[in-house]
Amino acid sequence: MPSSDTAQISTIIDLVQIINPGSTLDVGCGYGKYGYLIKESLMEHVWDKDKNIVNAVEGYEAYIADTQRAIYNNIFICNAMSFEKYLQMNYDLVTIIDAFEHLTVENGKLFIKEILKKSNYLLISVPRYVTAQSGLTDDPDKLEEHRAFWTRGMFKKMGNCMIIPNSARKTIILYSQNGNFTPAIKKFCSKKLLLKFVPYIFIDIFNYMLWFIKRNNPDHFIRRSKF
């Protein structure tokens, strides 16, 4: 079963925590990795399906096993373009992680438009450079085939969106239904841009300096234990 790049997990889950969705739709759920991480990151009991609604869409039924059934409230076995089958409710967030490149350009445009009618936010992650990939031999729809290479400019032409800086080899895009983004999301984007170009050693030095200055303040720090 194909999987997504693990280097992007922290960026995506940090953003999910900021959005704090009560309902999420995971399109192209695969193993169910992001369904699990979304529930865990929102500080709810991952197996309590009533705490946070996380539904999924998967076009290749053979991928679905007991693991995914335990994670998701509902799993819709259908093509991502079959909107009438799975867009029966409004969502706070819809994610499509490492699956958008399997749509044609025209279908990708339609997907963005239709999803934003039913979701406050749409989060897309695609490889920064899409290579050729064929579909599975036992899948007549060849859903795993790469069909389009979307650039940042193409995403921006579809409406107001934020390109989230990241250190993975990914283009991560966030759309909002009304075209606006909260200050927390904007701040997160600025922080990720800074971290992309500033070596982490400087961030560690800065944080250590803050700790050193405030180390005598018991309201901020726990003193190191002595043995």
Indicate the pLDDT class of residue 201, thresholds 50, 70 and 90.
Answer: low
Domain ranges of the chain: 6-181
The CATH homologous superfamily of the domain defined by 6-181 = Vaccinia Virus protein VP39 (3.40.50.150)
Render the burial of 170-186: b for 16+ CB within 10 Å, e for the rest.
bbbbbbbbeeebeeebe
Going through 74-201 in order, the beta strands assigned E by DSSP cover 75-77, 91-97, 119-127, 161-164, 170-176
9-13 contact pairs (CB < 8 A, 24+):
9/37, 11/164, 11/166, 11/168, 11/172, 11/192, 12/95, 12/97, 12/123, 12/125, 12/172, 13/37, 13/38, 13/41
pLDDT higher than 80, residue 222: no
pLDDT tens-digit readout, 143-156: 678 788 888 999 99
